[in-house]
Amino acid sequence: METGMKCLGCRLANKVQPTNIVYENNYVTCFLDYASFNEGHTLILPKQHFVDVDELDKETASAIMSASILLSKALKKLYKPDGITFTQNGGIFNELIHYHMHVVPRYKNQPFSDFYNVNSVLAEDIRELSDTKELLKEVIDKLTKTY
């Protein structure tokens, strides 16, 4: 496995590069996607370097799943979406070359095919990332006290 300093995903997950972190534990860091599909679009990255899902150890895989559940609850509470989309691109489709899972609140008139269409996102509908981060962290903090 890579040491991490060459890997952008490792640098982001281990706070070497700045991100808008909404949640983290010993295994994962969750932060807002800078090119959000919808407000609250969050990425889950393991702190240890993995590229594909089949490389994950049990502890990291469990931490990713737990974080996805927590984020789903927080996004539902905060944004009242019609659903949550979880997606992970492997192989040549993993542009980050570090395992990451997208957790995206979605609404009924947003087909999945638009997820990868940059033109389908209306930037004016998305709050500043720092504002979104504070709102989401507040909800997550409340949920983790009962989670």
State the DSSP string of 87-127. E---GGG-TTSS--EEEEEE-TT--GGGGG-GGG--GGGS-
Domain ranges for the chain, please list them.
8-146
Q: pTM for this structure? A: 0.86
Q: What pLDDT shows up at residue 4? A: 52
State the DSSP string of 4-32. SSS-HHHHHHTTSS---EEEE-SSEEEEE
The position carrying tokens 């959000």 is 36
Written out in words, the top-level CATH class of the domain with range 8-146 is alpha beta
Q: Which amino acid is at 111?
A: P
CA distance 101 to 30: 9
Q: What pLDDT shows up at residue 129? A: 84
Per-residue pLDDT of the chain (147 residues; tens, 9 = 90+): 444 578 999 999 999 999 999 999 999 999 999 888 899 999 999 999 999 999 999 999 999 999 999 999 999 999 999 999 999 999 999 989 999 999 999 998 877 776 655 554 444 444 688 888 999 999 999 999 875
Q: What pLDDT shows up at residue 115? A: 62
CA distance 30 to 21: 6
State in Å, rounded, how far the first CA of the chain is from the last one.
Answer: 32
Q: What pLDDT shows up at residue 99? A: 97
